[in-house]
Amino acid sequence: MAQITLSKLRHSYYPNPKQADDYALKMIDLVLEDGGAYALLGPSGCGKSSLLNIISGLLVPSDGRILFDENDVTTVAPSARSIAQVFQFPVIYDTMTVYNNFAFPLRNQGVDEARVDVRVREIAEMLEVTDLLDKRAAGLSPDNKQKISMGRGLVREDMNVVMFDEPLTVIDPHLKWKLRSKLKELHQRVKVTMIYVTHDQTEALTFADQVVVMQDGEVVQVGTPVELFERPAHTFVGHFIGSPGMNILSCDVRGSVAYFDGIEVPLEGAIKPDLNGNTEIGIRPEYVSFGTQGIAATVRKVSDVGRHNVVTVMVGDTKIAAIVKGETPAVGDTVQLVFEQDQTRLYVDGWLASEKGAGQ
Amino acid sequence: MKTQNNRAWLFVLPVLLLVAFNALIPMMTVVNYSVQETFGNNLFFWQGLDWFEGLLRSDRFHAALGRQFLFTGLILAIEVPLGIAIALAMPRQGGWVSVCLVLMALPMLIPWNVVGAMWNIFTLPDIGLLGYFINHVLNIPYDMTQNPIAAWVTIVTMDVWHWTSLVVLLSYAGLVSIPDAYYQAAKIDGASNWAVFRYIQLPKMKNVLTIAILLRFMDSFNIFTEPFVLTGGGPGNSTTLLSIDLVKIALGQFDLGPAAAMSLIYFVITLLVSWLFYTLMTKDDLN
């Protein structure tokens, strides 16, 4: 068990990186508390798997250090770090039984057979695979194989961290949910730090206490699922999380007032001083409603997604999504948009630039 | 109710004809010869199973069969581990991959009789590069036309040189198909190199190795050209393998009946061993 500190971490797959674009990981400073459930969330190619491999030791970073508590483990071999990793595709030792698969990491450490047996049965019971223990691992279904992979990760007792690299990719949709709640339950039982890498926001938000959002090799925001949803620190987070994502609208700022389409839009609070750049308003579809006066827009599309309707409207060339419960306007109607004031944020060059309002 | 017709047979017909002419009919001719005695002029006399019985009791056949199993056993025992070892040592990525692959494929591109001739010259005691080196530099008497041991060492070495590549290439294909995640997981699980080989690489290579061993078994069990060109079965009969003996009986002595009976027994042995081996290796995959 340990707190994991990533300090000034950079990594490049090129031998002589020069400009920032050569780096797969640009500058990561991150502290992962002992026993936390973390998710690394980001689109494919954002560097989340590289980061994971650096923590597990499969990759040595170009610059920076990794500390487990006070110990620098930057160049320590994976097997000596007391970590476990579950991969995208289940990795099992085909020729062994499920029992021997679980026992493998322990036997490699020279744990005595009696203790191995206790641990294997404990883990099997936790994962509900006790009746499979004597079966050969090769013939199992994908979700059971992934369970075996997880079990091998959890079986050692001295774990610092267990990492999951998009572990549900090959699992059938109806089993994903089951396995995900199993993971959450396991985390609560074993209390070991877990890091879950995914590009699926649902997986990240349901699993993690803290979500680390990454883009282009950088950490954009670290926060609880609620924080990420309520106050995205960057337009990327706003857009990436939520379904549909945050509306990002180009705007003009004159003095301390923002104008969209020539109309004043009241923001949540004051604008941070001394910021110059491309200004945008961010408002989640959940907080866009139709009123009697406001910004005039034409309804383009109404999609019924079950619990509510997503109404897409156009203001000039700008597309805005609104989530509407109950009655919806017809396509072609003209509506007046109302933005909930304390949910209307200002972004300068992508970064959050409005202060929290007095009411929050 | 499905409409049924026999049109499908028409599609099978061309293959049937082809197989008939290149396998079935020649084969039946051999069966025909194996139960008759012939004196030329197309005179045939019914002989029943006499040839088979005589052959199965003959010391000459036993000796040739023994030599054949010894040869095949030796080359498999050398080529399979050696091939796996070379495949493991080959780079998995980078520019050297294609260089290695081409180098490995080269011996297999050389025609069999040329291989025999090459090694014949290579091992000549006075002018062959290898023969001269062993005799006059290492001062070990080595002459495969005189010494049976030398002859055996030469034909086995030649086969290893010629065919280990096949095992290498197939094993290599098996190795590169293993996803990185397996090696990474093994590293994290603290597996030793031996455990990685035993529990990851070997199981993943099992299918291609089965094919490699099967091909090497059949090929080496039926080998003729190279040892024939190299030693002609000598000195004495020491390297007279089954096929060489068969040709001696059929074309040297013109005993077509016994030769045909021997062909059939030879064929059945090859088929039986291949079938047994394949069934044993794949029986786990079924359940």
Same domain? For A173 and A115 the reply is yes
Angle at A238 between CA A167 and CA A227, to 5 degrees: 80
pLDDT, position A358: 60
Neighbours of B122 (CB within 10 A): 18
pLDDT, position A329: 85
Q: Is residue A264 included in any domain, yes or no? A: yes
Size of the A and B interface in Cβ pairs below 8 Å: 54
Alpha-carbon span B180 to A300, nearest angstrom: 48
Same domain? For A225 and A108 the reply is yes
Chain B contacts in chain A segment 68-87 (CB below 8 A): 77-79, 83-85, 87
Rg of chain B taking only CA atoms, in angstroms: 24
CATH of residue A266 = 2.40.50.140
**For A151, which residue in chain B has the nearest alpha carbon?**
B189
Residue from B31, B236, B138, A306 nearest B130 by CA: B138
Same domain? For A107 and A133 the reply is yes
Same domain? For A225 and A253 the reply is no
Residue from B86, B239, B241 nearest B161 by CA: B86
Query: With an 8 Å Cβ cutoff, are A77 and B187 in contact?
Result: yes
Q: Which of B188, B195, B199 lies closest to A83 in CB terms?
A: B188
Domain housing A202: 4-230
Same domain? For A91 and A223 the reply is yes
CA distance to partner chain B, nearest, from residue A318 (Å): 44
Q: Is residue B154 included in any domain, yes or no? A: yes
Is the model's pLDDT at B73 over the cut of 60? yes
Contact B10/A at CB under 8 A = no
Same domain? For A142 and A9 the reply is yes
Same domain? For A254 and A218 the reply is no
The total domain count for chain A is 2
The total domain count for chain B is 1
**3-state SS class at A1:** coil
CB A191 within 8 A of CB A37: no
Same domain? For A55 and A190 the reply is yes
Alpha-carbon span A357 to A97, nearest angstrom: 60
Q: Is residue A357 included in any domain, yes or no? A: no
Q: Which residues contact B169 (CB under 8 A, 6 or more apart)?
A: B87, B101, B104, B105
Same domain? For A87 and A180 the reply is yes
Q: Is residue B47 included in any domain, yes or no? A: no
CA distance to partner chain A, nearest, from residue B177 (Å): 14
Rg of chain A taking only CA atoms, in angstroms: 24
| pLDDT digit string, tens, across residues B136-193 | 888 888 787 888 888 888 889 999 999 999 999 999 999 998 888 888 888 888 888 8
| pLDDT digit string, tens, across residues B264-282 | 888 999 999 999 998 888 8
Of the three residues A204, A230, A256, the one that is the final residue of a domain is A230
Query: With an 8 Å Cβ cutoff, are A79 and B189 in contact?
Result: yes
Q: Which of A87, A108, A139 lies closest to B181 in CB terms?
A: A87
pLDDT, position B86: 93
Alpha-carbon span A360 to A354, nearest angstrom: 13
Bridge-based pairing state of the strands A210-215 and A37-41 = parallel
Q: Is residue A237 included in any domain, yes or no? A: no
Q: B43 or A245, which is more confident?
A: A245
CATH of residue A221 = 3.40.50.300
**For A96, which residue in chain B has the nearest alpha carbon?**
B199
Print burial letters for B16-52: b (CB count within 10 Å at least 16), e (below 16).
Answer: eeeeeeeeeeeeeebeebbbbbbeeeeeeeebeebbb
CB A220 within 8 A of CB A213: yes
Same domain? For A275 and A223 the reply is no
Domain housing B201: 59-286
Q: Is residue A358 included in any domain, yes or no? A: no
In chain A, what residues touch B207 (CB-CB under 8 Å)? none
Q: Which of A78, A88, A93 lies closest to B188 in CB terms?
A: A78
CB B116 within 8 A of CB B227: yes
Q: Is residue A235 included in any domain, yes or no? A: no
Q: Is residue A360 included in any domain, yes or no? A: no
Q: B245 or B42, which is more confident?
A: B245
Contact B184/A at CB under 8 A = yes
> 0.90 exceeded by the pTM?
no
Contact B195/A at CB under 8 A = yes
CATH of residue B275 = 1.10.3720.10
| pLDDT digit string, tens, across residues B205-262 | 888 999 999 999 998 988 888 888 888 777 878 888 888 888 888 888 878 888 888 8
Q: How do the pLDDT tens digits run along chain A, 360 residues long? A: 688 888 888 888 888 777 777 788 888 888 888 888 999 988 888 888 888 888 888 888 888 888 888 888 888 888 888 888 888 888 888 888 899 989 998 888 888 888 899 989 988 888 888 888 888 888 888 888 888 888 888 888 878 888 888 888 878 888 888 888 888 888 888 888 899 998 888 888 888 889 999 888 888 899 998 888 888 999 999 888 888 889 998 888 887 788 888 888 888 888 887 777 888 899 999 998 888 888 888 899 888 888 888 999 988 888 899 998 878 888 888 888 888 888 888 888 888 888 877 654
Of the three residues A200, A230, A260, the one that is the final residue of a domain is A230
Q: Is residue B268 included in any domain, yes or no? A: yes
In chain B, what residues touch A56 (CB-CB under 8 Å)? 184, 188
